[in-house]
């Protein structure tokens, strides 16, 4: 068997097993589970040719548009499945990185393969990645791009142009991929060639990055068509800048009150231990120590990326900021895999020797027990295969609405699932949906009037219509309807 097949075989097995489990636990339709409240906005934007909330996520839109045309099932299910496929891809790449790195640094092919399979499956069934693999969100795709950059950074001969292109396209999915900069710098420095100027790898990186960032051009193209979901109206330079910069969310960055930092740090440490278990974390720290001895540059670059990701997530003042730690968990799995490969290497028979077969088998079984334990302990928490709460909520609200009603939502959570049922599934074409919190933005008011010309907005505070009932959606989902024009 060739070395390439030996490297990819266990990695592919890890990815396939992960995808199989994700498919069994996948949400059947739109979901609020696992902090996926933004999913309705993303799904609706994909299907209607629209532009979702900042930062616009053009890479997600592009891939989502392609895959939804190819995959079967409920519209939301298709994008849930895309999340599962991206997570499985991240698992595959991580496992392959462990195998290649461990083999290159002397652990031996057999030990490296077992360690790669173990690390890949441990990452697959880590609680945060698994939770994001079964709902429609951008984070497993983010993990996939980070795993790809980590794979290239671990390869001394990696192409700076390819690194830049993947980085650029990945930034089109989530801007926190900027925090992979230490890995980018490592790969660029390694690519210096004695026969060419030192600036040459940087130019290749920059050209690849520019090509990858071209994915952002789809945002003004989509916005110029005047879609119903058109955050920022990005066909103007000002609108595009507002959208791509994430200006709407700048107030969350590094705004966590100092009094909350001890609790957040404690939660961060707990999350690190929970992803691969405390045993996996200990093996990961051992792996980092061994990596620092064998390949100091990669150890420093990966540690720096973990530090940057952790600092950003710790300071981001939202309840779901823990999901931003996913790239750090990918690196932790790499360290754990490398540590396990080093531990197995001392037991692996060399030159046909059989003396250590029993302890080797025991060590390999112990390692594979870690992902099995994560699978069994985390299955019920991750499983959303019967979750229809969000869809049933939206369907109930739409069914209760009087004919030609204007439904006024005061929650993104409600607005997004209603958008999905109304604009994607075509439910209740006679009604209009208004997100009251977005009326302060001119781009939203303009899009609303364009698609619902019978509505009259008085300034940015009132909705009027001469002949349609206006229904406020209460916090519990009940409708409070008035037949005449009413205040927002």
What confidence tens digit (pLDDT) does each residue in 362-383 have? 777 777 899 999 999 999 999 9
Of 132, 144, 204, nearest to 173 (Cα)?
A: 144
pLDDT in tens, 73-90: 899 999 999 999 999 999
DSSP 422: I
Q: Give the pLDDT confidence score for residue 487 in this predicted structure.
A: 45
Q: What is the largest CA-CA distance in the chain?
A: 88
- ∠ Cα 145 149 151 (to 5°): 115
- DSSP SS3 for 408: strand
Contact 464, 476 (CB under 8 A): no
Angular region, 385: left φ>0, alpha ψ -120 to 50, beta rest: alpha
Rounded Cα distance between 285 and 294, Å, is 14
Rounded Cα distance between 176 and 306, Å, is 12
Listed as ranges, residues in the chain with pLDDT below 50 are 1-2, 352, 355, 485-488
> Which helix (H) or strand (E) segment is 406 a member of?
strand 406-409
pTM: 0.94
pLDDT in tens, 205-252: 999 999 999 999 999 999 999 999 999 999 999 999 999 999 999 999
Segments in 401-477 forming alpha helices (H): 412-419, 442-451
Of 148, 183, 122, 129, nearest to 369 (Cα)?
A: 122
Rounded Cα distance between 379 and 291, Å, is 32
Q: Is 384 exposed, middle or buried (0-12, 13-18, 19+ CB in 10 A)?
A: buried
- ∠ Cα 366 125 317 (to 5°): 125
Of 255, 133, 152, 252, nearest to 201 (Cα)?
A: 152
Q: What are phi and psi for residue 458, nearest 5 degrees?
A: -95, 105
> Which helix (H) or strand (E) segment is 219 a member of?
helix 218-224
Q: Give the pLDDT confidence score for residue 466 in this predicted structure.
A: 81
Q: Give the pLDDT confidence score for residue 355 in this predicted structure.
A: 47
Contact 468, 476 (CB under 8 A): no
């Amino acid at each position: 068997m060739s070395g390439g097949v030996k490297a990819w075989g266990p990695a592919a097995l890890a990815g396939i097993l992960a995808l199989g489990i994700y498919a069994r636990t996948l949400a059947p339709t739109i979901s609020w589970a696992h902090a996926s409240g933004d999913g309705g906005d993303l799904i609706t934007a994909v299907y209607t040719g629209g532009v979702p909330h900042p930062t616009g996520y053009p890479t997600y839109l592009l891939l989502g548009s392609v895959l939804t045309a190819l995959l079967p099932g409920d519209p939301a299910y298709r994008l849930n499945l895309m999340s599962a496929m991206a997570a499985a891809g991240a698992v595959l790449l991580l496992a392959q990185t462990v195998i290649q790195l461990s083999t290159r640094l002397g652990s031996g092919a057999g030990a490296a393969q077992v360690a790669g399979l173990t690390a890949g499956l441990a990452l697959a069934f880590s609680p945060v990645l698994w939770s994001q693999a079964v709902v429609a969100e951008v984070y497993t795709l983010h993990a996939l791009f980070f795993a790809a950059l980590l794979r290239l950074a671990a390869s001394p001969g990696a192409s700076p142009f390819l690194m830049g292109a993947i980085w650029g396209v990945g930034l089109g999915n989530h801007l926190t991929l900027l925090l992979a900069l230490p890995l980018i710098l490592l790969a660029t420095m390694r690519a210096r060639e004695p026969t060419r100027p030192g600036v040459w790898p940087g130019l290749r990186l920059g050209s690849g990055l520019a090509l990858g960032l071209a994915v952002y051009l789809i945002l003004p193209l989509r916005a110029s068509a005047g879609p119903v979901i058109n955050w920022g109206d990005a066909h103007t330079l000002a609108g595009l800048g507002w959208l791509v910069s994430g200006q709407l969310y700048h107030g969350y960055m590094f705004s966590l009150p100092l009094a909350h930092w001890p609790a957040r740090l404690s939660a961060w440490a707990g999350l690190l231990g929970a992803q691969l278990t405390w045993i996996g974390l200990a093996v990961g720290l051992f792996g980092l120590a061994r990596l620092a001895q064998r390949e100091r540059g990669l150890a420093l670059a990966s540690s720096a990326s973990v530090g940057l990701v952790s600092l950003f997530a710790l300071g981001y003042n939202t309840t779901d900021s823990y999901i931003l730690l996913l790239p750090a968990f990918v690196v932790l799995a790499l360290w754990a895999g490398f540590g396990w490969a080093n531990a197995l290497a001392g037991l692996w028979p060399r030159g046909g020797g059989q003396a250590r077969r029993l302890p080797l088998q025991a060590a390999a079984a112990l390692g594979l027990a870690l992902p099995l334990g994560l699978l069994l302990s985390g299955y019920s928490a991750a499983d959303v295969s019967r979750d229809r709460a969000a869809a049933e909520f939206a369907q109930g609200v739409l069914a209760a609405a009087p004919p030609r009603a204007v439904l006024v939502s005061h929650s993104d959570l409600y607005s997004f699932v209603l958008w999905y049922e109304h604009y994607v599934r075509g439910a209740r074409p006679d009604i209009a949906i208004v997100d009251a919190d977005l009326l302060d933005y001119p781009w939203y008011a303009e899009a609303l009037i364009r698609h619902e010309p019978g509505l009259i907005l008085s300034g940015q505070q009132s909705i009027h219509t001469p002949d349609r009932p206006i229904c406020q959606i209460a916090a519990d989902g009940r409708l409070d309807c008035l037949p005449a024009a009413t205040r927002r």
